[in-house]
Amino acid sequence: MSKEFALPVVRNSVDTIRLLAADAVEKANSGHPGTPMEAAPIAYLLYMKHLRHNPTNPDWAGRDRFILSCGHASALIYSMLHLTGYDLSLDDIKNFRQFGSKTAGHPEFRHTPGVETTTGPLGQGVAVAVGMAMGGQYLAQNVDDELFDYRTWVICSDGDLMEGVSAEAASLAGHLRLGNLNYLYLDNKITIEGDTALAFSEDVGARYLAYGWHVERVEGENMAEIDAAMERAKNDPRPSLIVARTHIGQGAPNKQDTHDAHGAPLGAEELALTKQAYNRSPEESFVVPAEVAEHMRSCLARGAELEKAWQQQLAAKQATPVVADWLAVANGDLPAGWDAALPEFAAGDNKATRQASGAAINGLAPNMPLLIGGSADLGPSNNTEIKGERSWLPGQSGRNIHYGIREHAMGSIMNGLAHTPGVIPFAGTFFVFADYMRPAMRMAALMGIAPIYVLTHDSIGLGEDGPTHQPVEHLASLRAMPNMTVIRPADANETVEAWKAAITNRQGPTALVLTRQGLPTVDREKFSGADGLQRGGYVLAAEEGDLRLILIATGSEVQHALAARETLQAEGVGTRVVSLPSWELFEAQEQAYRDEVLPPACAARVAMEAGTSFGWERYAGSVIGMSSFGASAPAGELMKHFGFTAENFVARAKELLG
């Protein structure tokens, strides 16, 4: 080992990282001590030498990104953040996993300073990192290559690399030659159930070589070897995987290399023996020797200098149009005239909302250069192509991303792109395949980041592909997710308004749920304007005479509500039609507005939606929906068979009115 890493203060620092983590888990009587103990040398090298970061300003745009993908090892990142000078106190470490603490059981974005993304579900961190690396490459190649030459580092585990999402993401990263992406893989050969040989015997390094990655193998305690491998990784044009042979619970006399060090505290007796092995007093806890504190807080001065140099570069370049535009968007402002070129559609046009969405994307793109998107090999069906723009190819970022048939990874990569300052990512697939993206969609909602999902072929209306491709429960499922905004527009102009709502929603993800089949464009001179969508629900057609009945619908069923109203009004029944494309936007309105749209005094309400009726009871006493899966047949036949017609609306209304 080199003299640098043989210094007593270095070894003492590594041991302090280990024991702080073990003490935190022990005090909480909950958590994972073994992985922080094995990863301490790698984490030390990363934060102290290789990671470009500033503890006093964790969010400066030119920093390197670090993701602890194995989020169960959260005590590791908390130890590092405290020791290197982030706003995380020793008391926070002592309150590990306690209510209200900054040190949650798994790292949480916007909850703890220095945590770049929420991790916990294994595989999500490594996949999000691919999106972060793509975001960095996009900014470097399209804004400024000196300001955005940062890289993304990841510490990951066996569990991360077993999960399928990581394989999809790594395959794309290798194909795109993301040289700014580096994984540090803790090859400890232990999972909760025991030795990884129970279920995992592949050569991970060989698999990543096949993906097109640069791969190295090191010993997890050999800091000089790890350091040299990290330097080589930084200089390789491919993404890098450093396979570190580590030992879970490093230094615990009886629990090292056993699954007992994985998901439970070491126990008082074993922890005492471990401290003795590291020449520490068994009676003392949460000890940070003065020389360790001084040594590791050197990150403060180093980080300040790194950021100062970057800020000077930014100051020298911020007057250039492309950097100025990026800076404005990164600060939360939308470009002037961002919505000026959005299309308007004439009444009577028969247009699928997926087609209107494609037109909206291409109306937004010229004025929003950081709007980038793609599809999971369904671009022509999802209408997600930005016309006239480059594809994202190996070594060359473009605005059109081809994810391949990789929805799992696409959802997670979008989260990484959404973490990139200024970038607004969107991506499309069939609505039924949102199931593949669901873990990533949930993480986006949890973090309050704002990818936009273009989910087409939204119901049994997609027709002949049959029930495997016909989403019936998906609207209810996504509506059940906190902080997810779901919008199912009724026509082309509502679709344009839906895109406006998605672009201005920066507090969480938005799902645009769109039809395969053509829908009539509503006559907005006869009925209310489509901008009512911004409030989630609105009176599309007012009643004539006294209000006796309200028909409520979304998406492709709104046309049937309008036709049914015409019949009922002709029979003297005062009927109102409410378009309710987004429950979330509607529920965010003041109660007075909601009562204006849906007067409590009018209890006679019928709702229609080509999905399960689950949840609709909050708005209507009678619901026409799906109670089964669909079938394979032309869309028109299916809609009639399952009752999504104006005639059924009328029949149900008359039944309700008696």
Give catalytic residues, as residue numbers: 407
Coil, strand, or helix at residue 565?
Answer: helix
Token pair 């990363």 is at which residue?
46
Token pair 């049914």 is at which residue?
564
What is the enclosing helix (H) or strand (E) of 418? helix 407-418
Residue 89 is encoded by which pair of tokens? 């106190």
Pick the closest to residue 356 from 504, 469, 519 (CA basis). 519
Residue 566 is encoded by which pair of tokens? 């015409």
CA distances in angstroms from 612 to 432, 459, 460, listed in the order given: 14, 10, 11
- In the DSSP assignment, the letter for residue 391 is B
CA distances in angstroms from 252 to 12, 157, 647, listed in the order given: 16, 19, 73
- Distance between CA 521 and CA 529 in Å, rounded? 12
Instruction: List, as one string, the DSSP characters of 231-253.
Output: HHHHT-SS-EEEEEE--TTTT-T
**Cβ-count burial 105-121 (b if 16+ within 10 Å, e if not):** bbbbbeebebbbbbbbb
Distance of CA 91 to the CA centre of its chain: 31
For CA atoms 489, 493, 496, 501, the dihedral sign is negative
- Distance between CA 598 and CA 589 in Å, rounded? 12
Pick the closest to residue 630 from 643, 621, 620 (CA basis). 643
- Distance between CA 546 and CA 573 in Å, rounded? 8
Residues 6+ apart with CB under 8 A from 375: 381, 382, 384, 401, 402, 403, 427, 428, 429, 454
- Distance between CA 546 and CA 441 in Å, rounded? 44
Residue 277 is encoded by which pair of tokens? 């092995």
CB 218 within 8 A of CB 36: no
